Structure 1
Amino acid sequence: MTTNMGKTDRALRLAIAVALVLTAVATNVLGSGLFFWLALLVAGVFTLTAIAGNCPLYSIVGIKTCQGSK
């Protein structure tokens, strides 16, 4: 699997994932319904793509945020 995400992009995704998890779990802003689970799902996807360094949507659209991209 090729890397198509740069360090800044990956760090930003991890920060957003942490914020979503904290918002969902530590506060009552999202309740316990659909938005709660949606926030956790998005946080999980952001975490996995940040760790892997590859975003499938970027591959489809043709975006590369890593160094050396053309």
Structure 2
Amino acid sequence: MAKNVGGLDKGLRIVAGLALLGLGAFGPLGWWGAIGIVPLATGLMGNCPLYSVLGLNTCPVR
């Protein structure tokens, strides 16, 4: 898989994913916080399937 998620985008996805997971575990979101797995996984892998479909790329290295 080619990487299509750049540095800033990757960092924001990881932070958002962890925040959602934390709000789900310790806050008001409950099981809905599990949706945080998606941005966390795409941030850690550096590849977003939706970006591939839309033809977007925030990664500076091609």
Normalising by structure 1, report the TM-score: 0.78
How large is the RMSD of aligned CA atoms in angstroms?
Answer: 1.4
Deviation at 1:47, TM superposition (A): 1.4
> Structure 2 stretches of 5 or more lacking a match?
none
Aligned residues: 62
Greater RCO between the two (CA within 8 Å, min separation 6)?
A: 1
Equivalent residue letter for 2:8: T
Deviation at 1:18, TM superposition (A): 1.1
Moved over 6 A (4+): none
Question: SS of 1:64's equivalent?
Answer: coil
Aligned counterpart, 1:22: 22
Normalising by structure 2, report the TM-score: 0.86
1:1-70 alignment runs, 5 A limit: 1-27=1-27, 29-30=28-29, 36-40=30-34, 42-68=35-61
Equivalent residue letter for 2:10: R
> Structure 1 stretches of 5 or more lacking a match?
31-35
> Once the two structures are aligned, what percentage of the paired residues are identical?
35
